[in-house]
Amino acid sequence: MAMDAEVSALTSDEFFVLRDILEELEDISMLADILHEACLAEDVTVLASAADTVCYHFSSLAAIGAHNDLFQSLLDGYRRIKAAELPAGAFIVSLITLGKRIPSEVLTVNYLNQELSRSYQTNAIAACSPVSDHMAGNHQFGDANFLDEFEQFLGTGNRMDEENMLKSFETLSEKLVAYEEFDPIQCARLNHLLSQLRTYNEKQFDVLMLKWVATLMKQKIRHIDRIIPPLLGSGCLTFEALFSVTRNATEPSMGTISSHPGPRMQLFNLTLSAFETFKMSMETVSTALPWLTRVLSRTPSLRVIIQEAYRFRLAQQTYLRRCPTEALAIIREATIESLADMSTGAGLPLQETSTVTLLRHYVVHHFDLVMEHLVQPLVKFSSASKIAIESGIGLLLKPDQEIGMLCPTYLAVLY
């Protein structure tokens, strides 16, 4: 890893490895030093990942006074990328997310939003050029070269009216569901294409995404917990929208028998438990290779998966911090739904490690909300839910080692 006073030769693979190690060691001071080095890179992936990392560990970095300097260094990195005319849409989004956490950077965030709009306008202009008109209505590409051809279709400039947006979205979303055995590399590429597609017409795309996700949840797709997290991480979907979709589902009732988790339990799994499943899926990409060989032989698609996973953790952390009322509603309704399903012996949401950890944070920071939106409604709902919440409160008071609990990483840095 070469070090230079002006420009760093730090690669994305090196950064990912160093970040993983330092997060595991919880060495924030050393992580800040690595982030300062990453800010000097000319690799957009390194810069965007550094911005995500600063945002993820914002409170800890602010405690040691490193957050402002890192943000300014990242802005310098953006100026270099802009001067080199490199594509920086994802980097700008990461900078905006970070800038919103610094009250004094309101004007900078406004500027970055304008820069992002110009980036989208560039895509829109390209989308209106009359190139490859016959491809705009023909998405029946051969399976072997489907992703390459679709990426070329989006990148070479085509008309993207509402009809073409609909056809393109349907093609990509159907392909995403079509993988019977989860293929993280191919799914990463599909998610990247969906992110590109969204830039042409965000409003229409978001409507299509919500309708599609609602359909997936009604159909109870087997691997939905592997489809949704990358979409959340890539910005194609938000937790708030996911919450809204689930709230529109049928209300849970006692005595229902089902062989599949209901919409509330699905939402709970996606909000509080999904990352571990997603992470395990990533780690099985090349398990036959030694760890160091896997690090050194990462493909661009695998790097995208790592970025998606980290951004999913960031989106998850941000949602749980900003929306405690919704998070408590998710736990409450998932508990009611799981009690209503008499056909499974699965543990209750209140007994999950992630729930116990999150509730400990909420009891300290949002005690009144915990009582209003979780404890009191469950005590009143039924005798079974009353017993469940009493048991859950008991777990909050037990030491971690007594219940064999390890704190999920995304909750450890919630505040």
To the nearest 10 degrees (0 to 180), the angle between helices 28-38 and 44-56 is 150
pLDDT in tens, 137-173: 444 444 557 777 777 777 655 567 888 889 889 989 9
When mean pLDDT is compared across 46-50, 61-65, 164-168, the lowest value belongs to 164-168
* In a domain? residue 77: yes
**Long-range interactions of 356-360: CB distance < 8 A, separation 24+:** 356/392, 356/395, 356/396, 356/403, 356/405, 357/405, 357/407, 357/408, 357/411, 357/412, 358/272, 358/320, 358/327, 358/331, 358/411, 358/414, 359/331, 359/392, 359/396, 360/396
Same structural domain for residues 95 and 203?
Answer: no
| Domain interval for residue 122 | 12-127
Average pLDDT, integer, range 199-224: 86
Average pLDDT, integer, range 290-315: 66
Q: How confident is the model at residue 374 (pLDDT cuts 50, 70, 90)?
A: very high
Q: How confident is the model at residue 278 (pLDDT cuts 50, 70, 90)?
A: very low
Structure tokens at 314: 């960031």
Same structural domain for residues 378 and 255?
Answer: yes
Q: Report the distance separating Cα 187 and Cα 234, nearest Å.
A: 12
Question: Which pLDDT does position 88 carry in this prediction?
Answer: 84
Q: Report the distance separating Cα 261 and Cα 283, nearest Å.
A: 25
Same structural domain for residues 182 and 85?
Answer: no
Same structural domain for residues 110 and 247?
Answer: no
Same structural domain for residues 72 and 183?
Answer: no
Question: Which pLDDT does position 307 carry in this prediction?
Answer: 81
pLDDT higher than threshold 90 for residue 134: no
**The overall pTM is greater than 0.85:** no
Cβ within 8 Å of residue 94, ≥6 positions away: 48, 51, 52, 55
The conformation of residue 84, written as its DSSP 8-state character, comes to: T
Q: How confident is the model at residue 226 (pLDDT cuts 50, 70, 90)?
A: confident
Same structural domain for residues 319 and 215?
Answer: yes
Same structural domain for residues 121 and 198?
Answer: no
- 300-90-169 Cα angle (round to 5): 80
Question: Which pLDDT does position 293 carry in this prediction?
Answer: 40
Same structural domain for residues 115 and 224?
Answer: no
Q: Report the distance separating Cα 337 and Cα 211, nearest Å.
A: 23
pLDDT above 90 covers what percent of the chain? 32
Q: Report the distance separating Cα 241 and Cα 57, nearest Å.
A: 25
Q: How confident is the model at residue 33 (pLDDT cuts 50, 70, 90)?
A: very high
pLDDT higher than threshold 90 for residue 125: no
Number of domains in the chain: 2
Question: Which pLDDT does position 301 carry in this prediction?
Answer: 59
Question: Which pLDDT does position 363 carry in this prediction?
Answer: 93
